Amino acid sequence: MNKIILIGNLTRDPEALTTSGGVNFTRFSIAVNRPFTNSNGDRVADYFDVICWRQLADRCAKYLNKGNKVGITGSVQRRQYEDKDGIRRTTFDVVADEVEFLTPKTGSYDRSGSSGGSYSPEEPDPISGMQPVDGDELPF
């Protein structure tokens, strides 16, 4: 089984590209914090290169920016290539099946400069309709 689940922050803006066959894809990288600090007290992070295809690639390119927090599920893919010096290199990419945007809407996903709700304007804000609950009325 080849399955990976990550939550992290984009280290750079996504790069939208198209294959020679006309298929859209987007590349970005994320930093995932480890649950501990090193001996100097510094937070330790791992960095992952992520690739998305087709409609998911379009959404990520449009709505994500450097610093946004995302949750990703997908698989790990090994690639081999020759660098400009003719040395054979191996790299691993996360091929995303799903990308969940975890930065609040107020953080603005839209690169056009518009604020907040451009990601899904047809969805109502779930918090605005909430009412406070009196704890004495709960059955547990």
* Residue range 36-59, pLDDT digits in tens: 888 898 889 999 999 999 999 999
What's the confidence (pLDDT) of residue 114? 42
- pLDDT value at 124 more than 70: no
What are the tens digits of pLDDT across the range 11-23?
999 999 999 999 9
The set of residues, in sequence order, having a beta carbon less than 8 Å from that of 64 and lying 6+ positions away, is: 10, 13, 14, 28, 70, 99, 101, 109
Give the global pTM.
0.70
Q: What is the mean pLDDT of residues 74-91?
A: 95
